[in-house]
Amino acid sequence: MMTNTTDPSSKKNQEALFTRPTSINPDAPQVELRDIRKDFHGTTVLHETSIEIKQGEVIAFIGPSGAGKSTLLRCVNYLETPSAGEILLGGEPVVAVADKPTRAELNALRREVGMVFQSFNLFPHLSVLRNVSLPQERVLGRSKAEADARSMELLSRVGMEHKAAARPTNCSGGQQQRIAIARALALEPSVMLFDEPTSALDPELGAEVLKVMQELAKSGMTMLVVTHEMSFARRISDRTVFMAEGRIVEQGPPEQLFGDPQHERTRRFLEVVDR
**Is residue 36 predicted with pLDDT exceeding 90?**
yes
Q: Output the pTM of the full model.
A: 0.86
Rounded Cα–Cα distance for residues 40 and 46 (Å)? 9
Domain assignment present for residue 5? The answer is no
| Total number of domains constituting the chain | 1
pLDDT in tens, 53-66: 999 999 999 999 99
Element (H, E) at 145: helix 144-157
Domain assignment present for residue 265? The answer is yes
**Is residue 11 predicted with pLDDT exceeding 50?**
no
Provide the domain limits for residue 135: 27-273
For residues 70 and 196, is the Cβ–Cβ distance under 8 A? yes
Domain assignment present for residue 15? The answer is no
Domain assignment present for residue 11? The answer is no
pLDDT for res 205:
83
For residues 254 and 234, is the Cβ–Cβ distance under 8 A? yes
Mapped onto helix, strand or coil, the DSSP state of residue 90 is coil
Domain assignment present for residue 2? The answer is no
pLDDT for res 166:
97
Domain assignment present for residue 7? The answer is no
**Which CATH number belongs to the domain containing residue 253 in this structure?**
3.40.50.300
Domain assignment present for residue 45? The answer is yes
CB neighbour list of residue 47: distance below 8 Å, 6 or more residues apart: 37, 68, 246, 247
Domain assignment present for residue 266? The answer is yes
Mapped onto helix, strand or coil, the DSSP state of residue 207 is helix
pLDDT in tens, 190-247: 999 999 988 878 888 888 889 899 999 999 999 999 999 999 999 999 999 999 999 9
Rounded Cα–Cα distance for residues 39 and 240 (Å)? 25
